A and B are shown apart, each in its own frame.
Chain A
Amino acid sequence: MKETTLPNPGLQAMPKDNSARFQRREHHLMLALLMPALLIVTLLLIVPLGWMIAQSFQVDGSFSLEHYERVLTDGVYWRTFGLTFRISFIVTLAALLLGYPLAYAATVLPRRWSLMILALVIVPFWTSVLVRAYAWLILLQRSGVINQTLMGLGLTDAPLALVHNEFGTIVATVHILLPFMVLPLYATMQKIPRDLMLAGSSLGGSPMHIFWRVFFPLSLSGVLAGMTLVFVLCLGFYITPELMGGGRTVMASMLVSRNIQLYVEWGAASAVSVVLLLMVVTIFYLVSRLVSMERILGVK
């Protein structure tokens, strides 16, 4: 600080010196602010993940590819991954078919109605997954409201098997994941300027023509974002298929839990988890080449 009182040379060097110091201090402060979050992420995510990956390469404490060999050659694992992908695919399509019209309605209807639609989509989102799965269980069971109504109307003689199978799993999963489809779709549709529809109409486009030529193409990034979110979340679904599938619909996450709970095979469970994780990362990577990650995660 003494230099500052000295004549010219010291004075001239001052501003530069100071700003560099200021910047360094700023960086240190930022790092300090980030510390708690970094610590939590490191302790609760990075470390366990590393431990899990290490486990997957170990048999009795020494390096081995045995777990991966089994995951990649055993038909049971292949069938489970196949089923997981199929269910995720069907759930994603169903969520899109249900979610697109909802998001569209929320976009074009007057504000009062659109708020109601969004509320109906979001409120269940705040309810526990477990509660919602049980609710569906009650609705879909053999003596549930739906079967009784169908029989009462004479549409079917015996109760349909609506639950404890793949169908029940899909119904409940679609319901639970629907907000993840509707919200990115709605966000994207909101940003399509209304002027474009008016222009399309004034230029001679029928409502159908405008929808398919203008609105739909401009909503595609939202479609991709919603589909990716739902698909990836569905790949790792556990509670819902466990409850709704009746033990017959085994998805990848259930394989992990069974390996641990029934067979106490941490290595095998880790290997399945790593494979699942790699699939998710691959999907995100492929999609991110088409549409920005911020958009999918709803940051932008």
Chain B
Amino acid sequence: MTDTRRDSDLRLVLGLGALALASVALGPYILPTFLINSLLRAILYAAVALTVDVLWGYTGILTFGQSAFFGIGAYAVGLVFTHMGFSASHALLALVLSLVVSASTALLVGWLSFYPGASPLYASVVTLALPIVVTQILFSAGTFTGSSSGLSGFESFDISIEIWFWISGTFLVLLTGVAWLFVRSDAGRMLVAIRENEARCEYLGISVSRLKILLLMAAALVAALSGYLFASMQMVVAPEYAGFVFGTELVIWVALGGRGSLVGPVLGTLFIDVGSAYLSGNLPYVWKLLVGVAFVVVIVAFPGGLLPLPMALLRRLRGIPPPARGRGPMLELAEPRALPGLRGDSASALVLEGVCKNFGSLRVLDGISFRAGRGELLSVVGPNGAGKTTLMRCISDGAERSRGRVLINGFDTGRLPPERCVAFGIGRKFQTANTFDSLTVAQSLRIARSRLERPWLLHCSRTLALPDAALQVIRATGLDEHLDMAVRHLSHGQKQALELAMVLALEPNVLLLDEPTAGLTKAERTLIGRILRDLTEHHGLCILLVEHDLDFVREVSSRVIVLHQGQILLDATVAEVVESELVRSIYAGVGSHGESPS
């Protein structure tokens, strides 16, 4: 079933691609010159719109700056051909220039926008500033760039319009096909994971910042290549092609066509740009108003854009059910491997030395020090506000600590971000189930594996290899029956189990669990308890568990730390803690359930 589904998908995309290529081939013989000329431009705009869709629709990076890269590609052509003349070697030089300059600009912009903790708003504002800065540079370079007038009248490839149409049409069809394969591939799912839950990705050892920068660079290269083709065939460059108005137009086309659908933005761009060539001459005054109104209506009422509307109608008319989901990939056992974390020769799996955390003048953690060895299940208990969740954060994210040291398997985590700490062998499960809502169970697990197994760029693997511990959790909770189900349809308990399995898929040997049983049924709780004991006893994991449920703690723990007002009050065996008057008095004074402070 899975295979037929996937094959039919592939057949569909091949069929559509062949159809599109055939239209490209026949276009010049059928369509009037005016339409061909209009389409020529719109096709290259659509290629850039495609990059906006991958960045925004899939990854959630709202960008107004793709026009700048288009402009860079175009100006490389304009400048080289104007000042050095046209020749084959100069065309190559222009190509190299356009790619190198756009990629390095993207690197700079990515470095500015995508640092750990940067808000997506900030990235958007930076992408808005980029075309403004680029335009300003073009303006002020005087006759070299032609300032506001741009460059025109340079010699270029001596190719007829028809051939240009074939070149750019094929370029767009292939690009759309590659993008289509990419976003559906194992690697492509990572884009959605980043959009949905950046923090979870980081704690799965994925360097989100690096991926975003790489993605931006790839998008910049495609946009620059489109600009290169554009300037070569139109023989004109002007600052507005790099400007922010064009940048925002791209976003409008993508939104109207249907973000996150690839085909929608391409069709949206072709229709709107070519349509405006026909209509805006007749209604210059209201054209912008119409586009503005359509845009706001789509954003508010149809965030999926306009393409899904006729598609749904078509489906209903032809009685085709919405795409059904298959069974997902085959599960298999991952080869045992030497884990990076285990290479440390430290006797203790986890060591904390004088860890402090201040919020302003408020000290939430005050000199926390302890050690935990392999095979140990250490519970951290304490009333609300004791700093338990903060402690988890300070262990797993170096930037969170105000003072103190954390060693994981003997490696000092310093001020490293979570994704680097993961490499030392630590895995963190969050307090509330922290998953990727729109991905399936199998896709989520695959993303958790991506640190250890590089995902395929253009297709989906049919098998999913997981370590024993993760397989155990999945099978015990029945998740293996729902591998192809979207996570948002899972029950709360299943989500908790999935997140645990995802963390285990990292093959950590230090596991941080923040209330893994909150909101679970008695049966589920028992199950989790059994799994945890198994992990420590048979897999030698060191588990640090934050729990409110003292019964559960008593059942599973080998040792308990009592945290109170940011300090360790007691570090003892289960029996000692249970008998402690002190602990009882603390718990009596404060409620025992509810949210920990953030």
Partners in one complex: no
**Residues of chain B having any CB pair with chain A under 8 Å:** none
**Residues of chain A having any CB pair with chain B under 8 Å:** none
